[in-house]
Amino acid sequence: MPPASSSEAAAPRGTRVAIIMDGNGRWAEAHGVSVTEGHRAGGDALRHITEAALDLGVRELTVYGFSTENFGRDPEEVAGIMQLFMELVEREAPIMVERNSRMCFMGRRELLGDEIRERMRWAEELTQHGTAMTLCIAFGYGGRAEIIDAARAAVLEDGVDGLDEDSLRRHLYRPELADPDLIIRTAGEQRTSNFLVWQGAYSELVFTDTFWPDFAEPDLRAALVEYAARERRFGGRLTEAGAS
C-alpha cells in the first residue's frame, strides 16, 4: 500500500486513534467457521490496519484486544485467544521494527500466564526504539481497573492530599501515550465498554456496522475523514459564525 499523499490525507498527521475491535465471533458465525478462526481473522485485520494507520499518518494506535471481563468467556475460547495473541506478537514485533514502529501493551499483566508476559516483554524491548508510530494493545485490560490501579499507586507515592488529575495520569498504565483523538468501534455496538475510561473523556466516537475482520483501509480512512470534519470543543463554545 503506497503512503497517502498530502492531498489524500484523511486527518491531520499525528492523529491518535483507538479501536474497539468487535465482531470476531459474529463474523465467524456468518462464515460458518469456529470462533477461533474468527479471532484469527481479527488478528490478520489488525496487521493490515496497523500498516494502513502508519501510511495515513496515525501517530498512536491503541486497540482493545482482550478485556478483564473477557476472562469470563468459555475457557476453550479464552485459551485459543491466548495462543493466537502469542503468535500475533511473535509474528508482528519484527515487522514493527522494519516499520520503525513501537509495540507496547497495557492491562493487568498479573492476570496473564508467564509465557504471555515474557512474549510481551520481548516485543516491547525489541521495538522500543521505533519512532514512526506506536501500536498499543490493551490485553487483560479494563478502564475502571486502570483508574483503580492508578489511584492506589498515586496515593502511595503522593498521599491522599496529593491526589489530583496530574498525579493520577502519571500512574496510568501508559502515561506516555496521548489521549486518543478518535475512538472507533466496529460491529454495530454504540458504547465504549470500559475502554480508555479516563483517556477517552473527550475523544470523538465513530461507530461502524462492519465486523472487525472485514474492517480495512477504506473503513479507517472513512472514519478519519469523519473525524476531521468535526469541530472539537473540549467543553467550550464555537465562536462567532460557528456558534450555535
pLDDT at 7 over 50: no
pLDDT at residue 1, as a whole number: 39
Mean pLDDT of 183-208: 97
pLDDT digits (tens, 9 = 90+) for 161-187: 889 999 999 999 999 999 999 999 999
* Per-residue buried b or exposed e for 156-189, using 16+ beta carbons within 10 Å of the residue's own CB: eebeeeebeeebbeebbbbeebeebbbbbbbbee
Report whether 140 contacts 68 (CB < 8 A).
yes
The model carries a pTM of 0.90
What the block records as the C-alpha cell of 222 is: 472513512
pLDDT at 158 over 60: yes
Q: Given this structure, which CATH class describes domain 15-227?
A: alpha beta
Helix (H) or strand (E) holding 15: none
pLDDT at 6 over 50: no
Q: Looking at the annotation, which residues are catalytic?
A: 22, 70
Phi and psi (nearest 5°) for 198?
-75, -50
Identify which of 138, 152, 115, 147 has the alpha carbon closest to the alpha carbon of residue 69: 138
Mean pLDDT of 93-113: 97
Report whether 211 contacts 23 (CB < 8 A).
yes
pLDDT at 234 over 70: no
